[in-house]
Amino acid sequence: MTGTDPRVHQVRLAEFEVPVRLRQMRLGESRRESEEAHAFVDNLRDHLVTKNRSPKNFPKDLSGIGKGLLWAGPPGTGKTMEATKTLLECYYRWNVPVHFIAFPDYISSRKEQWSLEHKPEGGDRWWDIQRRIEAVRTSPVLMIDEVGKQQDGPTRFAAGELDTLLRQRHRDGLPTLITTNDAPKEWATLYNESMGSFLKEAFTIIPMTKEDRRGRRA
């Protein structure tokens, strides 16, 4: 989007709920960026189903449709930074609408909406939340930050919401970018039994450490 007024970008990124401090990020600024992130952006068309896209021009290999990226590792390893760069690169390079949400905020919104279900006085607030939820569910590329087991309770509400959201988006051909402190091999235990196999189908896993992963591969 060369030549676009920077103020237009700021308005759109505010609508996409991208935090102000992260809005200038782009891939290519660090040699530590993963090959998987660059490949995802380069081949975004192979992952994304849009309203105007006909099955006639889908890639021959349909296994990538709706497939996203999942950055997993301990705190402080750059998960949010690289995921945000990937998200914004999709927007800046391909002019694709994106959306950013922290998982604790999403769960808080869903719980508040649920509490307003049968309260007539909460109608306007319920619809405000619903518009936000629809943006999360239907954004061509969504980033969910800070997915973690510590956000759930005995009711397993967060686990159920995460499962529903991720499966719906994958089914609709909408890739999701996730950052988490939870090891992917533990997801079957932390969330539900089928989540472990679903991760392998719906995400490319990017392990994050404090090492220079690109240098290590070289």
Domain boundaries, the chain: 35-44+63-210
217 pLDDT exceeds 50?
no
What does the pLDDT average to over 116-132?
A: 87
pTM of the model: 0.91
User: Torsion angle of alpha carbons 205, 179, 42, 67, nearest 10°?
Assistant: 60
pLDDT one-digit tens code per residue, 141-157: 999 999 986 667 777 89
pLDDT band at 180 (very low <50, low <70, confident <90, very high): very high
Q: Which CATH number fits domain 35-44+63-210: 3.40.50.300, 3.30.365.10, 1.10.8.60, 3.60.40.10?
A: 3.40.50.300
In this structure, are residues 86 and 41 in contact, taking their beta carbons and an 8 Å threshold? yes
Residue 209 has pLDDT above 50, yes or no: yes
- The side-by-side arrangement of strands in the sheet containing 68-72 is 98-102, 141-147, 176-180, 68-72, 203-207
pLDDT, residue 3, reads: 64
Q: What is the mean pLDDT of residues 113-129?
A: 86
Question: What is the pLDDT of the chain when averaged over all its residues?
Answer: 89
Tell me what pLDDT residue 18 has. Answer: 97
Residue 213 has pLDDT above 60, yes or no: no
Q: What is the pLDDT of residues 99-111, one digit of tens each?
A: 999 999 999 999 9
Q: H helices of the chain, where?
A: 6-15, 35-42, 79-94, 103-115, 123-138, 157-171, 187-190, 195-202, 213-217
pLDDT at 73: 94
Are 68 and 202 within 8 A, CB to CB? yes
